[in-house]
A and B are shown apart, each in its own frame.
Chain A
Amino acid sequence: MQSEVRLVEAGAMGRVAYARVAPNEDLVSSIEKLCAAEGFRHAFVRGALGSLVDACFVAPDGGTRQVRGPAVEIVSLAGEVRTQGDGSLRAAITGIVADTEGHVHGGPFVAGANPVCVTFEVTLEEWLPDAA
């Protein structure tokens, strides 16, 4: 069935990529661009730290919530990148940030609204699913 959701996917980890992302690049799209540059079709975030100008999360009501910096420290990230049906890459990234007073905030990052402040270090591990 075309619309069937595959809940269990067996596979293996492949290559590991590390990147340093420069100021004003977007957190989410830089992860997608890293996969495109490395030729990863699917990947998991294995580690990340750095800072954002301001952080922007999807709020529970579907709107957005912005944490003002600079700098907002990225303290932990979780997420993955998946190749879509049209061949595009889509990263879904959630995480926790600390504001300029050390207070923590978290949620899903809004793509295009999380510019890097000073640097963003990210490690991705390639995911190689077995053929369906």
Chain B
Amino acid sequence: MTDFTTAQPLPRPRTLVHPGPVGAIRIEHRHANRGRHFRLGLEPGRTLQDAIIEPLLALGVRAASMTLLGGRLSRLLYCVAPPDPTGARVANYTRPIEAGAATLIFGNATLGCNGRGEPLVHCHATFACDDGRVRGGHIVVDRSVAQSAIPVLATSLDGIELRITQDDETHMPLMRPFEAAANEMEETPHAV
């Protein structure tokens, strides 16, 4: 007998059309054979960017995925991504919004590099403002400053280079995985 199941209809997902040609590869991925884990305490008084990058580079980590646990920031700036009124992109970041001093609730961050090979951190997080509002978004890491030693769990992505490149489809600079240069683990590219 045929096995039927019934369910409530889901909200119909929207397929957005981006300004550029649709890339053939939808999931670009690589793997490291083993993750190395590090616990960081972010140095109070420093920007999140510097407090994350410096210790990881000193450990020889150039690509990592991170979980930011709770802590205090003396200053936090963030962006959200409403529709782009110019139509050049589907959505674009707003100008940085000043949240003042805030308590970090939880966040995720990626350590990678820009097109010139300089390290950078991409971070999204949820936080509580001192007036009680809870907000979230893209954290402006080079202008947000740690006040307490915010704990961070970093998982290194050895053998993978995460590099920002301009994406033809979305017209946005995006982080993508590449094979890291020699002297690191050999990896084979994959795509689905």
Chain A residues packing against B (C-beta within 8 Å): 13-26, 30, 33-34, 36-38, 46-51, 53-54, 56, 63-64, 66, 69-71, 73-77, 96-104, 110, 112-115, 117-119, 121, 123, 125
Contact = CB atoms under 8 A, between A and B. Distances in A.
Interface of B: 8, 10-11, 13-16, 18, 23, 25-35, 63, 65-67, 78, 80-83, 89-91, 97, 106-110, 122-126, 134-138, 155, 157, 160, 162, 167, 169-170, 172, 174-177, 190, 192
Contacts of B78: 102
B184 to A, nearest CB: 14
Q: Interface of chain B, helix or strand or loop or mixed? A: strand
B110 A47 contact: yes
Given A17-B29, A24-B15, A51-B91, A118 B190 contact: no
B65 A46 contact: yes
Contacts of B25: 22
Given A37-B27, A37-B190, A102-B137, A75 B108 contact: yes
Nearest to A47: B65
A49 B97 contact: no
A117 B138 CA distance: 14
A19 B136 contact: no
Q: Which of A30, A49, A50 has the largest number of chain B CB atoms within 10 A?
A: A49
27 contacts: A15-B33, A16-B32, A17-B30, A17-B32, A18-B30, A18-B162, A19-B27, A19-B29, A20-B174, A20-B175, A23-B170, A34-B27, A34-B29, A37-B29, A47-B67, A49-B109, A50-B124, A64-B11, A66-B11, A70-B82, A74-B124, A97-B136, A100-B82, A110-B10, A112-B13, A113-B13, A125-B155
